[in-house]
């Protein structure tokens, strides 16, 4: 804020199982209660809206078309069972399993006919063995090697059930909303490496990143979204004040 930036609130509601309108209103109300002020968002609009991902499908579709035309994507017809059997476990529990590349070089005729992404999983072909490096504003120099036998494999950009994957949606939105600095949890460091590859393929220049240590409860478990015990709402209803909650979260 001291740099006179604009705070943008984006509602990442592509997962219809976990996103409902009342969740978004509760989030907005809780953030307001905390005293956080944004000037662009689903509730107040702004120049680069809409600010809910469920309303931005046309942007994601356009990126899918460009990536596909550039040879960066391929359809993956592996079943859940194939993936469970073939994938090697990720070396950290937060991350997705490394995809072994089964469909990467399939030449079947029926793989060419997709005019729309729906009906099959789409993966981004990562440059095998290439190191992706970036300087994190909080955690310093980061380095991940792309490739099926390295830190991360060909990752999902569009799901069989016709929902764009998180990695694609945030890259498209960060560019379209002119985001210059992203602050988020350290569990997403490796995803940043994936997103940098996507940005390069789409011709976007990346924002700066500041990854925070994760807030953990007294037992050391991270506060996942599904873990309601310490949600803002719960803390608020237990009588805690906004400044105490902010202090607990390490807000400056
Ligand atoms: Zn596959």
Low-confidence winner among 97-101, 179-183, 204-208 (lowest mean pLDDT): 97-101
How many helical (H) and strand (E) elements, i.e. helices and strands, does the chain have? Answer: 7, 7
Nearest C-alpha neighbor of 190 from the set 51, 73, 92, 87: 92
CB 148 within 8 A of CB 98: yes
What is the predicted pLDDT for the residue at 4?
78
Q: What distance in angstroms lies between residue 245's CA and the mean position of ligand 1's atoms?
A: 44
Q: What distance in angstroms lies between residue 154's CA and the mean position of ligand 1's atoms?
A: 10
What is the predicted pLDDT for the residue at 98?
84
Q: What distance in angstroms lies between residue 98's CA and the mean position of ligand 1's atoms?
A: 12
Q: What distance in angstroms lies between residue 241's CA and the mean position of ligand 1's atoms?
A: 49
Q: What distance in angstroms lies between residue 101's CA and the mean position of ligand 1's atoms?
A: 7
State the CB neighbour count (10 A cutoff) for residue 105: 8
Q: What distance in angstroms lies between residue 97's CA and the mean position of ligand 1's atoms?
A: 13
Q: What distance in angstroms lies between residue 218's CA and the mean position of ligand 1's atoms?
A: 41
What is the predicted pLDDT for the residue at 92?
55
Q: What distance in angstroms lies between residue 187's CA and the mean position of ligand 1's atoms?
A: 25
Q: What distance in angstroms lies between residue 27's CA and the mean position of ligand 1's atoms?
A: 36
Phi/psi for 208 (5° steps) reads -80, 150
Rounded distance, CA 168 to CA 152, Å?
Answer: 16
Continuous H helices in 12-79: 21-34, 57-69
Q: What distance in angstroms lies between residue 83's CA and the mean position of ligand 1's atoms?
A: 7
Could you report the per-residue pLDDT of 127-182, keeping only the tens digit for each? 999 999 999 999 999 999 999 889 999 999 999 999 999 999 999 999 999 999 99
Q: What distance in angstroms lies between residue 167's CA and the mean position of ligand 1's atoms?
A: 18
The set of residues, in sequence order, having a beta carbon less than 8 Å from that of 89 and lying 6+ positions away, is 97
Mean pLDDT computed over every residue of the chain:
87
Counting beta carbons within 10 angstroms of the beta carbon of residue 124, is it exposed (0 to 12), middle (13 to 18) or buried (19 or more)? buried
Residue with the larger pLDDT of the pair 167 and 227: 167
Q: What distance in angstroms lies between residue 160's CA and the mean position of ligand 1's atoms?
A: 12
What is the predicted pLDDT for the residue at 153?
94
Q: What distance in angstroms lies between residue 78's CA and the mean position of ligand 1's atoms?
A: 4
Q: What distance in angstroms lies between residue 117's CA and the mean position of ligand 1's atoms?
A: 15
């Amino acid at each position: 804020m001291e740099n006179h930036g604009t705070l943008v609130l984006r509602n990442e509601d592509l997962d219809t199982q976990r996103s409902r309108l009342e969740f978004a209103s509760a989030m907005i109300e809780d953030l307001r209660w905390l005293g956080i002020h944004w000037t662009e968002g689903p509730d107040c609009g702004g120049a680069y809206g809409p600010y809910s991902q469920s309303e931005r499908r046309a942007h994601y579709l356009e990126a899918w078309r460009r990536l596909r035309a550039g040879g960066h994507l391929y359809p993956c017809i592996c079943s859940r069972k194939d993936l469970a059997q073939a994938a090697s476990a990720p070396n950290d529990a937060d991350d997705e399993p490394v995809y072994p590349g089964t469909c990467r070089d399939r030449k079947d005729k029926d793989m060419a006919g997709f005019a729309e992404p729906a009906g099959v999983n789409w993966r981004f072909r990562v440059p095998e063995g290439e190191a992706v490096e970036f300087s994190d504003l909080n955690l310093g120099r980061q380095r991940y090697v792309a490739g099926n036998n390295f830190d991360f494999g060909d990752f999902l950009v569009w799901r069989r059930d016709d929902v764009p994957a998180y990695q694609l949606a945030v890259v498209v939105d960060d560019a379209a909303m002119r985001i210059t600095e992203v602050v988020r949890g350290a569990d997403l460091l490796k995803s940043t490496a994936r997103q940098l590859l996507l940005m390069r393929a789409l011709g976007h220049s990346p924002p700066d990143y500041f990854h925070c240590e994760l807030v953990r409860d007294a037992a050391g478990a991270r506060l996942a979204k599904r873990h309601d015990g310490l949600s803002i709402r719960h803390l608020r209803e237990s009588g805690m004040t906004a400044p105490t909650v902010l202090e607990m979260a390490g807000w400056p």
